A and B are shown apart, each in its own frame.
Chain A
């Protein structure tokens, strides 16, 4: 006997109908929703997880590190810095310097092309420099805001179709490295673009061209067919913007990205214990240090007065165990920095100060800062940005504890970086102790030294004014002999070291997550190179 027919409830029938309709409709939908999705699934695509989006793709206005990373794949430069810190020919085959050191003449490769296939000539190189230098454009990025002023750029001259001469206001021993930071692009497409258009529309000259930039989501590049130099290893490069460090690590472990930047120290074990990826660490060019601000205004406090004494500053160098701080808070080994020069370029022979709290106490006693009845020698404030560098607040708290241990009662003030800390720092008002980091270069000791071009230099946050140190710059201007340059640099840094201007910490270890499917090594200069 058949069971009695039961009426299907209306809701159930409606659900089935809608389900069937969706199935029919979606079965006709294309399999790929967007170029990025297709590229992500392609094994010839390199997928990189970045923490921050690109701010602009206008080669004259680039500033942020992430933009620079992508820019190096989109545009070439006359010379380029290798991973080892060498300056190698790139768009230029060679260069020569005039006798007075104020003119750099570059001979271009003859086979260079713009993205549209037109030949790239000396006029395009000249446009790249003049456009960035044009005051009417009001550019504030890396080229106009730093490279050209630091270069002491005076103009550019087209000598012939493949030769340009860059003129400087004065001899500059780091000119070639600075010139290597200027991107070369083609005049015709950029002269036709408004500034707004240039920020999103790319006409490439480098190994890749822009396919798609979806803000805060991804940037997709593919090989530039007009690029005459050897083709890059990957057909496409997909930069995914993944701001949260835990999510980036999860995507790496899941195999959805091949490289991630900015691995958080607490995620190193999770990545290394996975079967799919590992963490690669490299000491970057960013120097992390505690500055002693010697500005007069800090004399009102006991700590501010104390650190104006070079003997006190020297004593405090021995109070902090830097390798232990790195192991505990950054979860990677690091060496204590000896000088402000990137170790590969440091030929001064100055050794890093060891951790020796007894010596620190002895030196403080000798300087006249004995422990009081409460065990305190003097009190001081240590300011730190919050979230600017990995574990920065904890690092400052730990350093404060080391200083407490030798009788320097330290109060740590953690400040918002953008609204409070940076304005203080830029006005040279952070302190009397402050934790910060400044970026150097992998290709020149002189570049690293240029944080202190003059007592009123922009990055002289410590108000260091020693005339013996600054006299070194005059001597450097007079010589072209590399050996003599090294001697002068050694003398300058010895003064800097003896005056205890910075409490040297470390060259910030950059942590990258790298998929086991690829072979890739990070660079000290934070660029993601595919060479």
Chain B
């Protein structure tokens, strides 16, 4: 177990180094970022001076090595070129908002997607199965910005059931140790969370339902399920205790990837619903070629993604005794 953890951590370091090199190179491929930080009337001398101020006058490999040195020796990712404050701080400040949204969306996708998948499998070939699969098809083919705007215009603007956009923070005060404020904010925050969570969850929900359905169909045809039924167990026990328990394994595998996918894929929804999260921040940072900020966000995302996958591997071994960690 310890071996596995150490090996995975070392792999994570390699992954993160690779990711930073690729990000760094890609951001510089688009040309000299200096032009984004000078006035449109700036003279050549002013452009040269600004380039030197921002450190873009150095060769690319020197810039990268300086960045790597700062990161490894001081844990410093540099200051954001846009916000003029430490890049990691800017990312961490937005992270609770994205985490809140992603967590709610994943919860929604699982709570709704799994029962729908089970139901579709149990009613295989019947109209209900067709209806659920049609819904899944819509979920996977509907662009999230379109669904988001549709919800804003109907649920928010026409019926006035929910706020249209914005956020009341819950995790931020919680992470800061201010439980009172977090608790006080929670009821105000929930209405703001509903529409963006539904928008994000719709895609994952559809995928989860399809996966659970196919997995359940496979498991329901197994001999041990037939045996369970022959023993006279209730259908509920057969489905939940015998079938779903085994059908659950591919869903767990997907879970880690899905959380990572949701985490990095919220940019559109964060924009539509004015949700002040990391996705929007990275999108703007790429547009402004704010390299330290993009690097900080990419490292952060990579760490989360790698950790989640490790957690899923450990969980998998726990759920399926046949799997041994090596």
Contacts and interface: CB of A to CB of B under 8 A. Distances in A.
B281 A254 contact: no
B281 A216 contact: yes
B83 A254 contact: no
A418 B165 contact: no
Interface stretch (A26-34, A90-98, A300-308, A510-518): A26-34
Contacts, number: 155
Contacts of A250: 152-153, 156-157, 164-165
Contacts of A34: 168-169, 185
A98 to B, nearest CB: 26
Interface stretch (A106-114, A454-462, A474-482, A488-496): A454-462
Contacts of B83: 55-56, 199, 215
B43 A216 contact: no
Contact of A216 (B54, B79, B85, B280): B280
Contacts of B168: 33-34, 37
Contact of B276 (A217, A422, A458): A217
* Max count, chain B CB within 10 A of own CB: residue among A29, A438, A439: A29
B35 interface: yes
Contacts of A347: none
Interface string B32-54: 10011111111110110010011
A200 interface: yes
Interface string A345-381: 0000000000000000000000000000000000000
Contacts of B94: 215-216
Contact of A418 (B36, B42, B149): B36
A423 interface: yes
A140 B85 contact: no
A359 B21 CA distance: 57
A531 B229 CA distance: 79
Contact of A217 (B46, B164, B167, B288): B167
B222 interface: no
Chain A interface category by residue count: 35 or more
A30 B184 contact: yes
Contacts of B82: 55-56
B189 interface: yes
B40 A254 contact: no
Interface of B: 30-32, 35-44, 46-47, 50, 53-54, 79, 82-86, 90, 93-94, 149, 152-153, 156-157, 160, 163-169, 183-189, 271-274, 276-277, 280-281, 284, 287-289
Given A145-B38, A217-B167, A423-B32, 10 more contacts: A25-B183, A29-B183, A29-B184, A33-B188, A150-B41, A215-B94, A216-B276, A241-B274, A418-B289, A458-B38
8 contacts: A29-B183, A52-B284, A138-B53, A146-B42, A215-B276, A254-B164, A439-B40, A458-B46
